[in-house]
Structure 1
Amino acid sequence: MVILDRLPTVDRLQHLGLTVEDRCLMCDNGHETRNHLFADCPYGIQIWSAVLSLCGLERVMMDWERELVWLYTRLKGKSLIVFILKLAWNSYVYHIWEERNCRKFRNTYRDCSSLLGCIKDTVCIRVCSRRVHMDDVNRHICAA
């Protein structure tokens, strides 16, 4: 859904003719689009940068299209780091969207460290369920 830009973000709802508040609930600054939520929003950037750092990767998040190209070229093969990065990316997208919905519909907020903890828990549960051997680099994403 997110890659096909089919999430009901504010810009898509407005395109359908609905009148909705035109702001990002995560940073209270930008216009809520898929690209903003997952690649331009300071909240999302901070989370994804922390996830990459836990995986031993230091890089600046690019715009949405470049980030997808980077992921597409890096997430090939069956190595443990590729498996963990795929899980981390999917968990990142899921939890950012979940946080957006909690803020919109429940008026509840989590800070970056809480959301990062949820992503780490999700990745750790999936990795541990496969009983794979963790090396020092990949163990950080599962550390409490």
Structure 2
Amino acid sequence: MAIMGGLKTADSLAARGISMNDTCALCHSYAETVSHLFFEFDFSFSILSNLMKNLGFLLLRPNILKIFEYIEDMKHKDKNFYFLIICCVVYRIWRERNERKFGEAYVSSTTLAQKIKTAVLSKILNMEKGRRSD
């Protein structure tokens, strides 16, 4: 949904004629767009960098499409692992955005990265358990 423009970010709602406060709920400094939310600003990029250490070569912050292209072009046997990480990052950042916009609780990027690590590890262990029982 993030890639296809299906998330109800401020810019996509404005394109549908729905006006609202367009300030990002995570940083309160920039307009909320999919590109901004997912990896173009410090909060989300720090999460991604924490989980994918080999992104240090990037001079500019990537958008979500660039990250998927980068993974697709990798000559690495663990592409599916990286895709899982990205999907989990997008999901958890979106949840954090909603929590801050509509709730009252929030967590730091470090805490969110740890939650993502836990979720990815849990998914991998469940997949391994399923393979062993077949």
Distance change in 2, residues 1:58/1:2 (3 Å): closer
Q: Which amino acid aligns with 1:32?
A: E
Of all paired residues, the percent bearing the same amino acid is: 27
Structure 2-normalised TM-score?
Answer: 0.84
CA RMSD of aligned residues (A): 1.9
Structure 1-normalised TM-score?
Answer: 0.78
Where do 5+ consecutive residues of structure 1 fail to align?
133-144
Asked whether the 8 Å contact 2:9–2:34 carries over to 1, the reply is yes
Alpha-carbon shift at residue 19 of structure 1 (Å):
2.1
- Give aligned pairs, total: 126
Q: Which amino acid aligns with 2:92?
A: H
Alpha-carbon shift at residue 120 of structure 1 (Å):
0.4
Aligned to 1:122: 119
Where do 5+ consecutive residues of structure 2 fail to align?
130-134
Matched, 1:30 2:30: yes
Q: Which amino acid aligns with 1:52?
A: M
Aligned to 1:106: 103
Aligned to 1:136: none
Asked whether the 8 Å contact 1:30–1:41 carries over to 2, the reply is no
- For 1:1-144, list aligned pairs within 5 A: 1-53=1-53, 57-59=54-56, 60=58, 61-74=61-74, 79=77, 81-131=78-128
Asked whether the 8 Å contact 1:102–1:108 carries over to 2, the reply is yes
